[in-house]
A = this chain, B = another copy of it.
Amino acid sequence: MRKVAIIGIGQVPVREHWGKSLRELAVDALWQALEDGNRNEIDGLVVGNMLSGTLSEQEHLGALIADFAGFPGVEAVKVEGACASGAAAFRQGLLAVASGQKNCVAVVGVEKLTERSGWHTTSALATAADADFETSVGLTFVALNALVKQRFMYEHQVSKEQFAYFPMLAHQNAVHNPQAMFRKPITIEQYLKAKMIAEPINLLDSSPIADGAAAVILVPWDDVEKNSQAIEVLACEVGTDTIALHDRQEMLQMKGIEISAQRAFATAGITPQDISFFEPHDAFSIMTVLSLQASGFMSAIEALNHARNGYFTIDGTLPICTMGGLKGRGHPVGATGVYQIVEAVLQLRGAAPKAIQVKNPRYGLTQNVGGTGATVVTTILRRKD
């Protein structure tokens, strides 16, 4: 297996892109990444997407995007792993280069969620859960996360208010990220007054439905080791868990995250203490808490406490959601995992907007979660020594 570098990155602002088609968003991000990486050819394309078939009546995104980006003929395929589709695509692109099969692979995550009505999008997103045993009885995605949060609050005897500091942190960073959807801070008062979506998850606990596309260019490390922009992919590992929440022995354990993170740390040969910043999958605030625990950073209660004491801010011990996370940047599901990686590369290059640049980061960790933790992809990137 060869070492692999990310040499180019691209992203379109996360918005409700009513005037742009799925392919336009994808090609825009891809071309930006090629320009950034100073490349004009690729020999492979992997697309991460979850819902284009359901919401845009368009499958076959591998060939579609290869074609419209100007690379007909090139090997291309789509990869899906619910909300972890973006990082799952990254994993396949990584394998193609690491194995020696390909020398320059583009990974594009793209999603257009505002194509249909909110009802349509909510049901489409629920296809990440178990259709026969969860969604068939009316559970939506926010309801599933609400069940987890209820259980957590009961077991740990904590209040709703304690979760407020996660979305507040995310928005605080998103203010400075021009690609983010919500560039305004939120206050504890706003959080406490926010509309309830599925008790105890309120509007400000929830990442927004959005459109977006992000892309990276992967090449063999040996080709670019002298390039100061190159960032090494140290590990990218996948773990899974039961698809249905009720099939888990312990609802709060998040085994998929544990497996994925343990594999990633083992492959990278480092520990959670080495990580300079963490991009969690903060689709709902409860997910951030559970993943800080399951990834080996700290207990869930420590996570809740640290959220209010500055531990997770840009100049804290472990900055998280440095560009706004899913909550502030937005969550175009199949693109999210690639946005996280693009943002981590910006941090490691020292090219993040000034106010949210982590100081001298060495290792960045991103984590993309599908379903209620059934597919988890943990990626560790390293800045050149």
Given A53-B54, A63-B82, verify A73-B1 contact (CB < 8 Å): no
What 1/0 mask marks residues of chain A from 206 to 227 whose CB sits below 8 Å from any chain B CB? Answer: 0000000000000000000000
Residues of B within 8 A of A99 (CB): 1, 95, 98-101
Residue from B51, B67, B130, B131 within 8 A of A242 (CB atoms): B67
What 1/0 mask marks residues of chain A from 74 to 116 whose CB sits below 8 Å from any chain B CB? Answer: 1111111110000010011001101111000000000000000
Interface size of A as a range = 35 or more
Q: Is the CB of B77 within 8 A of A88?
A: yes
Is A62 positioned at the interface, with any CB of B under 8 Å from its CB? yes
CA distance A126 to B57 in the complex (A): 8
Q: Is the CB of B75 within 8 A of A77?
A: no
Q: Is the CB of B95 within 8 A of A81?
A: no
Can you give 21 A-B contacts (C-beta < 8 A)? A53-B124, A56-B131, A57-B127, A57-B131, A57-B135, A58-B130, A59-B128, A60-B127, A60-B370, A60-B375, A63-B256, A64-B243, A64-B374, A73-B240, A73-B259, A74-B240, A76-B238, A77-B238, A95-B101, A98-B101, A99-B100
Residues of A within 8 A of B (CB): 1, 21, 23, 50-51, 53-54, 56-64, 66-67, 72-82, 88, 91-92, 95-96, 98-101, 123-124, 126-132, 135, 237-244, 247, 255-256, 259, 370-371, 374-375
Given A60-B80, A63-B256, A72-B242, 5 more contacts at CB 8 Å?
Answer: A1-B100, A67-B242, A67-B244, A74-B240, A76-B240
The 4 closest A-B pairs by CB, nearest first: A99-B99, A63-B374, A58-B131, A75-B238
